[in-house]
Amino acid sequence: DSDMPLMEESEKLRFGEESSPALAFEKDAFELTVEDVYDISYVIGRDLLKISSTGEEVSDLQFRIVRVLEMFETLVNKYNLSLEELKMERDNLKSELDRIQTAGPNQLVVDLTDPNRPRFTMQELKEVLQERNQLKAQLMVAQEELQLYKSGILPQAEPAMVEVDLETPAATEHSPATINDAKEEKTTIGKL
């Protein structure tokens, strides 16, 4: 009779104390956390202590089990971290997809951090190109006049003021007579 209460007491201890750590054995492998691995280690370690008095072979087995549990812990930890990273990536992709879908079918989504993103409207680009072409035409005219001065065809006595019309590049090609007319105008203006 005295053995019976001791057995009931040990059963209570086993099921009462062990109920929390032992629950880790009932979980699905993909639901385990590092804490569950600690619980499993605790239960196995306690059970090994009960039989450790039998000899050295159990001690070797203990070290092997501890090593397996360490590897198990590393795998569970890595799996959980990978799962978290995948969840974060999924959430980022969902938010990106939502942002793109809410933009509408005829709208363009522009990444402001992209150095090659579009910055001008087509009209602004056309205006810049037209201005560039006009400046090129003016440069060509100025280079031709410079060559004429260098070759001696145009006199270099007094630098003539040449008016340049930005709107019509063809009108800027002056003949020597046009430059003389401009000189006379400047002289008349100077007298006034």
- CA angle 117–121–123, rounded 5-degree value: 150
> Of residues 162 and 22, which shows the higher confidence score?
22
Q: Can you give the pLDDT at residue 127?
A: 93
**Are residues 134 and 169 in contact, defined by beta-carbon separation less than 8 angstroms?**
yes
8-state DSSP, 51: H
Q: Can you give the pLDDT at residue 172?
A: 46
Cβ burial of 39 (10 Å; 0-12, 13-18, 19+) is buried
What DSSP letter does each residue of 47-97 carry, written as one string? HHHHHGGG-HHHHHHHHHHHHHHHHHHHHHHHHHHHHHHHHHHHHHHHHHH
Q: Is 104 helix (H, G, I), strand (E, B) or coil?
A: coil
**Are residues 49 and 96 in contact, defined by beta-carbon separation less than 8 angstroms?**
no
Distance CA 153, CA 145 (A): 10
Residues 109-158 pLDDT 10s = 777 888 888 888 889 999 999 999 999 999 999 999 888 888 888 776 55
**Are residues 128 and 120 in contact, defined by beta-carbon separation less than 8 angstroms?**
yes
Query: According to the CATH classification, is domain 3-102 in 3.20.190.10?
Result: no
Residues 50-103 pLDDT 10s = 776 666 667 777 778 888 888 888 888 898 888 899 999 999 999 888 777 776
Q: Can you give the pLDDT at residue 72?
A: 87
Q: Can you give the pLDDT at residue 139?
A: 94
> Of residues 188 and 165, which shows the higher confidence score?
165
Q: Can you give the pLDDT at residue 53?
A: 65
Q: Can you give the pLDDT at residue 180?
A: 53
Task: Give the distance, in angstroms, between the CA of residue 51 and the centroid of all CA atoms in the same chain.
Answer: 57
Distance CA 187, CA 192 (A): 9
Q: Can you give the pLDDT at residue 108?
A: 73
**Domain coordinates in residue numbering, the chain:** 3-102, 122-191
Q: Can you give the pLDDT at residue 87?
A: 92
Q: Can you give the pLDDT at residue 57?
A: 66
Q: Is 8 helix (H, G, I), strand (E, B) or coil?
A: helix
Task: Read off the pTM.
Answer: 0.37
> Of residues 70 and 12, which shows the higher confidence score?
70
Tokens, residue 122: 């087509």
Distance CA 192, CA 180 (A): 19
Q: Is 183 helix (H, G, I), strand (E, B) or coil?
A: helix
Q: Can you give the pLDDT at residue 181?
A: 53
Amino acid letter for position 179? I
Q: Which region among 19-28, 78-87, 181-190 has the lowest average model confidence (pLDDT)? A: 181-190
Q: Can you give the pLDDT at residue 91?
A: 92
